[in-house]
Amino acid sequence: MNLSRASSSELLEISDELNLALSSEDMEKCKEFFSDSGRSPTDVELQTIAQTWSEHCYHRTFKGKILMEDKEVELFKDYIKKATGEISAPWCVSVFEDNAGIVKFDENRSVAAKVETHNHPSAIDPFGGAATGIGGVIRDILGVWARPIANTDVLCFGPLDFKYDQLPEGTKHPKYLFQGVVEGIGHYGNNMGIPTVNGAICFDEGYLGNVVVYCGCIGTLPTSSYIKNPEPGDIVVLAGGKTGRDGIHGVTFASEELTEKSEEADRPAVQIPNPIEEEKLRRAILRIRERGLGKAITDLGGGGLSSAVGETAHDANCGATIDLDKVPLKHANMSPWEIWISESQERMLLAIEDENLQSVLEIFESEEVEAVAIGKFTEDGDLKSFYREHPVVDLDLDFLFNPPKTSRKAEWKKPELVEPDFSMPENLEKVLLNLLSSPNICSKESVVRTYDHEVQGNTILKPLQGEHSGPNNASVLKPFEDSSKGIVISSGIKPSYGKIDPYWMAASAIEEAVRNNISAGGRRISLLDNFTWGNPEKPQELGKLVRACRACYDFAKSFETPFISGKDSLYNESPVGPVTPTLLITAVGIIPEIEKTISMEVKEEKNPLYLIGATYPELGGSEYYRSLDHLGKTVPQVRPENSKKKFDLITKAVDKRQIRACHDLSDGGLGVAISEMAFTGGLGLELDLRKVPGPEINREDFLLFSESNGRFLIEVPENKTSKIEKMFENCAISRVGKVTGEKNVSITGLEGKEIINSELSKLRKAWKGGLDPE
C-alpha cells in the first residue's frame, strides 16, 4: 500500500483497517521512512511496526516525556531505573535487560524473577487468559536459561456478590471471572509440576470491568549459564508448539480499552494454553543449557516472531533473516503476516552456532518437541523475512526500535475527601468477626488448595501455616540440596489507598512487601514492580501514575531495595470506567539459614507479645472504613527511616534466635493480626490497648483497626525479653500482651475493662468462612 500519498486521515484509516493501533504521529513516521526508502510497505512490515511500537512491547508511556507541575520526566529513566542505578546493589546480575531480572543467590548461582500481567485476555477468556499468563511468565524464566521453581499469582476482581441485574453490558460477572482465572492458573502450574507458593486476592468495585491478573515465576540458574550473545552466522531456531491464528494482535489488544464489542472482536487475540507442551520444552531447554549449546534464548510472547527475532537481533547489534515457509503451522492457509505476529503459546527462539545445531535439534526431538532452523543472524542490522521466496519484511532495526517519543501532560489534583464522622461501635467483637470474614482479609484456602504448593519438595514456609492453615507473611524455598540458604518471596498491594493518593499507595505496597519478607527472615531484598492503570492519555490518570512512580524511587532508595524487573499494563478501561490504579510489588529476598525461618503463629504459653512500631489515627482506605462504606482521607503513610531501623533490628533478632513468631500488621490492623497469630497457633492471646505505642488515640476501634505501616507483632521467649527491649530501645516498642493457655483472644480497652473475649474457634470460623460461607 502506498503511504507516500496518504493524508493524515487516510493514514489513520489504514491503521484502523489493519488493527495496528498506531497513532497519527506513528503513521507519519512510517510514511516518512518508506518514502525515503522509495517504496511502499508490505502488510507484514506494518504489522511488525505495530507490534514493536505497541504500549505492551515498547512501554512508550514509561519511556516517553511527561510534563507535570512544570517538570519534565521520564517514568522509567527518572524513577524506576534511576533508583536501581543509585542503589548499585552488588548482588544484581541482570536488571531490565532481559525476560527476567537476575540476582545472585551465592557465589556461583543466581535467582531469576519475573511477574507479568494478563488482564485483557483474562477479561475475555478467564481460564485461557490466566493459564497463558502463567505459561508466558514461566517461559520468561526459561528465557534467561533458568529452571522454574515456583509460581506466584495476585488477582483482583469485582465483588463476588455483585447483583447480576446491575452488571453493565459487555461485562462478565466477577464470580465467573474468579472461577475461570483460579482454574486456569491451577491447570497450568499443576500440570507443569511448579508449585504456586505466594499470592493475594483483592476485591473492589474498581475491578468490575477490568479484572487484574498478575502471574509470577521464580527460577534458579548457574550464573555462568546466563548467556545472551548471538553473533552473525548463528542459526535462529524456533522450538515448541505450532504457530496458529490464536493470539494474533494480542499486544495491540492489550494496548487498547475494553469495550462492549471486545468479547466478539478480540477473542482471537487470546492464546490457547498447552502446559504439557511447555513441560517438554522446559526439559529440552535445561538440557541445552547444561551442555552449553546455546548463544541466546527468548520466549515468543507479545508480537510473536516479529518481536522475538527483532529484539534479539537489535540487542546484539545484529540483523536477522527469517524464512517463514519453515515455520511449523497449525493451519495450512495462514498469511505471512499471521505467521509473523501470531502469539501462539509454548514457543521459544534460540540462537545456536552452526556446529551445535544438530545436537540441539536432537535434544528437542528426544523430548518430542518440534524444532526447526528458520533463519540466521546477519551483520547488516536489518530485519528481513521471506515467504515463498518473496521478501515480505525489510526493516532497518534502528528505525524499528526508535518509535516517536510520546509527549504528554499530567495533572494531579488531590481528591476532595472527608474523614467519616461516626460513633465507635458498641460491639467491637462483632466488628472484628466481620473484618475477619470480609473478602479482602478472609482465608483464601479454597483457592490455595487448588494449587500444588508442595511439588518439587522445596517449600519450607508454605502459603498456609500450621495445623489450622493460617496466613503466612511470605513463603520460603530451599532451592538447592547442598545449601542451607533459602529464597523468601513476598508481595505488597494496597489498591484502596490509591483512591486517596497513589503516592502513598505505592509507598505502602513497597513497605508491605519488604516488611512481609523481613518477617519471615529475608534480607538483601530485590523488588519487581507491576503497574495496572487506566488510559495514560488522560492527564488525571497519568498524574496518578507519576505520583506512584515518584514513590517507587523514594522508597526503593530508602530501603536499599533495587528494582530488577517490572511490567506495566495500561489502558485498563471499560464501559464501567478506569481500573482502580494498582501497583503490585513483589519482593525476593535471601535467608542465609533456612532453619531460622520465622512463621507467624504463636508457639508457647506465657511468652510475651511485643508490638514494634507506632500506631497512628490513619484509617483512610482501610478495611475497617470499607466495612462501614467509608473511604476517608488520611491514608497510612510510610516513615522510611523508622521502618528501615526496625527492619534491620528484626533481622538481627531473627539471627540471634530472639523471636519465636513474627507477624506484620496490614489489612485490618492490630485486631486482625493478633487473631490470626492466635487461631493459627491454637493458643490464646491477651492484649492491652493501653500499651499500644504511638500518639494518643482515644478510640479503641481506631487502635484496633488502624493500618499504620511499619509495625510488627513478635512473640519473644521469656528469657529474651531484656535483650529485645535493649535492642529496640530507640524504636517504638511495647510489651502489649502475652500467650496464654486459654482458647480465646482477650483484649483490654483504654479504661482497663475487657472489650473483646472471643474464642479461637469463633475467630477461625469467621476467617475461614469468608469466601465459602456454610
Q: What is the pLDDT of residues 115-165, one digit of tens each?
A: 999 998 999 999 999 999 999 999 999 999 999 999 999 999 999 999 999
How many angstroms separate the CA atoms of 63 and 243, rounded? 31
User: 92 and 84 in contact (C-beta within 8 Å)?
Assistant: yes
639 grid coordinates: 516513615
Express each pLDDT in 511-565 by its tens digit.
999 999 999 999 999 999 999 999 999 999 999 999 999 999 999 999 999 999 9
271 labeled binding residue: yes
pLDDT for the residue 771 = 83
Residue 253 clears pLDDT 70, i.e. is over it: no
Say yes or no to pLDDT of 271 above 80.
no
Stated length of the chain: 774
CA distance 750 to 691: 9
pLDDT band at 257 (very low <50, low <70, confident <90, very high): low
C-alpha to C-alpha distance for 709 and 88, rounded to whole angstroms: 26
> pLDDT tier at 250 (50, 70, 90 boundaries)?
low
Please give the grid coordinates belonging to residue 503.
Answer: 503516592
What's the CA angle centered on 750, arms 746 and 751, to 5 degrees?
Answer: 95
C-alpha to C-alpha distance for 651 and 661, rounded to whole angstroms = 13
56 is catalytic: yes
Q: Residue 748 and residue 754: Cα distance in Å, rounded?
A: 4
- The predicted model gives 460-473 an average pLDDT of 93
Average pLDDT over residues 339-367: 97
pLDDT tens digits for 409-446? 999 999 999 999 999 999 999 999 999 999 999 999 99
Lowest mean pLDDT among 309-313, 482-486, 546-550, 770-774: 770-774
Residue 114 in marked binding region? yes
Whether residue 299 is annotated as binding a ligand: the answer is: yes
Percentage, residues of the chain above pLDDT 70: 97
The HSE-up count of residue 112 (CA atoms within 13 Å, CB side) is 27
Say if residue 266's pLDDT is above 90.
Answer: no
User: 3-44 pLDDT, tens per residue?
Assistant: 988 999 999 999 999 989 999 999 999 999 999 999 999 999
C-alpha cell at 236: 535462529
Distance set, CA 669 to CA 415, 444, 445, 707 (Å):
25, 18, 21, 5
With b for 16 or more beta-carbon neighbours within 10 A and e for fewer, the 473-498 pattern comes to bbbbbbbbeeeebbbbbbbbbbbbbb
According to DSSP H, which parts of 574-728 are helical? 623-627, 640-655, 669-681, 700-705, 721-727
Note the pLDDT tens digit of each residue in 581-605: 999 999 999 999 999 999 999 999 9
Any binding-site annotation on 344? yes
Q: What is the pLDDT of residue 518?
A: 98
How high is the pLDDT of residue 38?
92
Q: Is 566 annotated as a binding residue?
A: yes
Mean pLDDT of 261-279: 70
Q: Is the pLDDT reported for residue 265 higher than 50? A: no
Note whether 579 and 530 are within 8 A (CB).
no
- Picking from 373, 309, 403, 332, the residue whose alpha carbon sits closest to that of residue 58 is 403
416-to-205, 419, 624, 636 alpha-carbon distances in Å? 20, 10, 20, 17
DSSP 394-449: EEEHHHHT-PPPPEEE-------------PPPS-HHHHHHHHHTSTTTS--HHHHT
- When pLDDT is averaged across residues 720-727 and rounded to a whole number, the result is 97
Q: How many other C-beta atoms lie within 10 A of the C-beta of residue 10?
A: 13
Q: Which of 118, 120, 630, 663 is catalytic?
A: 118
Instruction: Identify the band that residue 263 occupies on the pLDDT scale cut at 50, 70 and 90.
Output: low
Q: Phi and psi at residue 477, in whole multiples of 5°?
A: -120, 145
Say if residue 256's pLDDT is above 70: no
Q: What's the pLDDT score for residue 770? A: 83
pLDDT band per the 50, 70, 90 thresholds, residue 302: confident
167-211 pLDDT per residue, tens? 988 889 999 999 999 999 999 999 999 999 999 999 999 999 999
Section 295-322 average pLDDT: 96
pLDDT value at position 457?
A: 86
- What pLDDT does residue 254 have? 45
Please tell me whether 65 is known to bind a ligand: no
- Cα 437–chain centre separation: 25
For each of the domains in the chain, give its residue range(s) and CATH number, in order of start.
8-59 (no CATH), 600-774 (3.90.650.10)
Q: C-alpha cell of 479?
A: 532451592
pLDDT in tens, 79-122: 999 999 999 999 999 999 999 999 999 999 999 999 999 998 99
Which 3 state secondary structure label does DSSP give 389?
Answer: coil
Measured distance between the N- and C-terminal CA atoms of the chain, rounded to whole angstroms: 63
Is the per-residue pLDDT at 260 higher than 80? no
Q: Does 166 belong to an annotated binding site?
A: no
Residue 329: HSE in the Cβ half-sphere, 13 Å Cα cutoff: 17
Which residues lie across from 236 on neighbouring strands? 351, 375
CA atoms of 672 and 432, how far apart (whole Å): 7
Give the burial class of 88: count Cβ atoms within 10 A of its Cβ; 0-12 exposed, 13-18 middle, 19 or more buried. Answer: exposed
Judge whether residue 628 has pLDDT over 60. Answer: yes
Q: Which among 283, 403, 316, 297 is positioned nearest to 30, based on CA atoms?
A: 403
593 carries a ligand binding annotation: no
Q: How many whole angstroms separate alpha carbon 471 and alpha carbon 698?
A: 30
3-state class (DSSP) for residue 650: helix
Alpha-carbon span 347 to 278, nearest angstrom: 8
- Region 488-500: what's the mean pLDDT? 98
User: Judging by DSSP bridges, how do beta strands 712-715 and 608-612 pair with one another?
Assistant: antiparallel
Residue 264 above 80 pLDDT?
Answer: no
Q: Which of 253, 109, 279, 67 is nearest to 190 (CA)?
A: 279
The catalytic position among 56, 249, 314, 663 is 56
Contact call for residues 716 and 659 (beta carbons, < 8 A): yes
Q: What is the mean pLDDT of the chain?
A: 95
| Phi, psi values for residue 305, rounded to 5° | -60, -40
User: Does the annotation count 118 as an active-site position?
Assistant: yes
Q: Is 116 annotated as a binding residue?
A: yes
What gap in Å lies between CA 602 and CA 676, rounded to an integer?
9
325 carries a ligand binding annotation: no
- pLDDT on residue 255: 44
**Using 50, 70 and 90 to split pLDDT, how confident is the model at 267?**
very low
Over range 270-290, report the average pLDDT: 93
Taking Cα atoms as reference points, which of 583, 504, 502, 578 lies closest to residue 543?
502
